Amino acid sequence: MKKFWIQVILLSLLIFAGFYSYHNPDFILSFIPNNSSLSKTQIKVGSAILNVEIANSASERAKGLSGRDSIASDSGMLFIFDSSKRYQFWMKGMKIPIDMIFINNGKIVDLLKIVPPPLANQKDSDLPRYQPISDIDMVLEVQNGYIDKNSLVVGDNVYLIKQ
C-alpha cells in the first residue's frame, strides 16, 4: 500500500511539473545551458546594420569578447554604460584584433582601428589601456577592419533598431 501512494505522489508531481512547464516555458529554459546570457538586438551604425550582443552589466562588460576565436562580419558587442565618461578598455583574454567604435548620445565620437590582442603570456599589468578622446556612454566592438569597410567616421549616427 505504501508503494502505491509513493507512485501516486510521484505521478502527481510529474503531472504538475508538466502542466507548470507548459504554461511557463521560461521555467524549463532556465535549466538549459546557454552560452550567452547577453541580450541581443540590432543597431544601425552609419549606413550599416549590425547584430549585437549587449553588455550592460559590470560582469558582462568585464568579460566582453574575451576568449572568442572570431566575430562575424555583421556582428559585434555593444557595451552600455550608466553615465558618460572616458572609460578605459583593455584586451585581456582576447584572441583576435578588433575595431572599437566609441559612441556618445547616439553619435560616433572616436574610432580605434585594429586594436591587437595581448601578446602570449603578457601580464595584466603590462596590457595597454585604450581610451576615447572624449566622454562616451557606449562602445561597440566589431570585427577588425569593420570601420574602414563601412567608411565610418566621427559624427556618424548610431541607432538602436526596435524589435
pLDDT in tens, 47-104: 899 999 998 777 877 788 888 899 999 999 999 999 999 999 999 999 999 999 999 9
Over 70: is that where the pLDDT of 140 sits?
A: yes
- In angstroms, the CA 47 to CA 92 distance is 31
**Phi/psi of residue 42, nearest 5 degrees:** -125, 150
93-134 tens-digit pLDDT: 999 999 999 999 999 999 999 999 999 888 989 999 999 999
Report phi then psi at 129, rounded to 5. Answer: -105, 135
Average pLDDT, integer, range 142-150 = 96
Q: Which helix (H) or strand (E) holds 3?
A: helix 2-23
> pLDDT at residue 7 above 60?
yes
Distances (CA, A) of 49 to 46, 75, 139: 8, 9, 16
Q: Which three cell numbers stand for residue 126?
A: 603590462
Amino acid at residue number 147: I
| Res 25: pLDDT | 45
Give 28's pLDDT tier (boundaries 50, 70, 90): very low
Residue 106's Cβ-side half-sphere holds a number of Cα atoms within 13 Å equal to 5
74: buried, middle or exposed (CB in 10 Å: 19+, 13-18, 0-12)? middle
Lowest mean pLDDT among 3-7, 34-38, 57-61: 34-38
Q: What is the pTM of this model?
A: 0.74
Give, in order, the Cα–Cα distances in Å from 79 to each of 18, 21, 135, 154, 161: 38, 34, 14, 18, 16
Assign 31 a pLDDT band (cuts: 50, 70, 90): very low
Output the pLDDT for position 43: 94
For residues 13-36, give the mean pLDDT.
52
pLDDT for residue 26 is more than 70: no
Q: What local confidence, expressed as pLDDT, does residue 36 receive?
A: 46
